[in-house]
Amino acid sequence: MLDYHLHLWPHSQSDVEPTVERVAAYCERAKIAGISEIAVTEHLFRFTQARDSLGGFWDTLPGDTLRPGMIEYWDHHARVDLDAYVECVEAVKAEGLPVALGLEVDYYQGRMGEVARLLEGYPFDVLLGSVHWLGTWRFDVLSDPVVLAEWNARKIDAVWEEYTTAMEELGASGVCDVFAHPDLVKVAGRIPQVPDEFYDRITEAAVRSGMAAELSSAGWRKPVEEEYPSPALLERFVAKGVPLTTASDAHDLPDVADRVEDLALLLARAGVTELRGFRNRRGYALPVGSTGRG
């Protein structure tokens, strides 16, 4: 099993420097849980280089009343040096610990070319692709009452349509390797009565792009109380041959490898016998239950 979606500090913290000791502790906790390899995938927007290159992307996006929240969010998070992060994870890899160097990369409408140029030259093993905001609406920040008010004001099918279009465009950009929490839009428990069209389109986006998809326990810790992706979407991925990774999306040590046994059970029920690992942005097959790289 893999844990291919890990953050080194929670969203409440900023100005936190990555350390070898922290990454090594993640590796140790994952090993105890039966994880053969982890990927450290901090949010791109945590880094000052992203702020300098992409900051202000919200100026041209819809959502005037939500824009101040986005500005504040980035001001809080974009405090860490990307080069220091890369050096830290690479140092752990040099010690022989089973860790892949990654990032979680959000979709930036019309600016994915800039994202690709920003990341060019770094020795990343895997890049996760995510959609966390629609326009200036950070729809999964459920602690923000302004965000919650938007959920009550918008039609659910329209939200899912906008999210699915963003996922399609993210896949078509060719920037990332894995769709992280592919149906994250359900986070608040707001799901269309008939979501089949959206599931089909997300699946086809993965097929066309050649991206893998993530099976994540994080949804069980959210109001939706369901894994990502939903059983119906996972079934589509498997039927279409979309490679899978597994993940906890932990933001702190206690959640590393969260509910890995439950994820393994879901894979077994779906008939999945291998996962997709990554090195230098190239995938390789890893048998489910393996204790080492394939």
Q: Which residue has the tokens 């800039």?
A: 114
Q: How far is CA 187 from the centre of its chain?
A: 13
Q: Tell me the whole-structure pTM to 2 decimals.
A: 0.96
Model pLDDT for residues 48-90, shown as the tens digit of each residue: 999 999 999 999 998 999 999 999 999 999 999 999 999 999 9
Q: CA separation (Å) from 111 to 57, 130, 150, 164, 173?
A: 8, 14, 25, 18, 10
| Torsion angle, alpha carbons of 14, 167, 120, 62, to 10 | -60
Instruction: Give CA–CA dist 257/1, Å, rounded.
Output: 9
Tens-place pLDDT, residues 139-165: 999 999 999 999 999 999 999 999 999
Average pLDDT over residues 194-217: 98
Please give the domain boundaries of the chain with CATH numbers for all domains.
2-287 (3.20.20.140)
Q: In the structure, what pLDDT confidence band is assigned to residue 121 with cuts at 50, 70 and 90?
A: very high
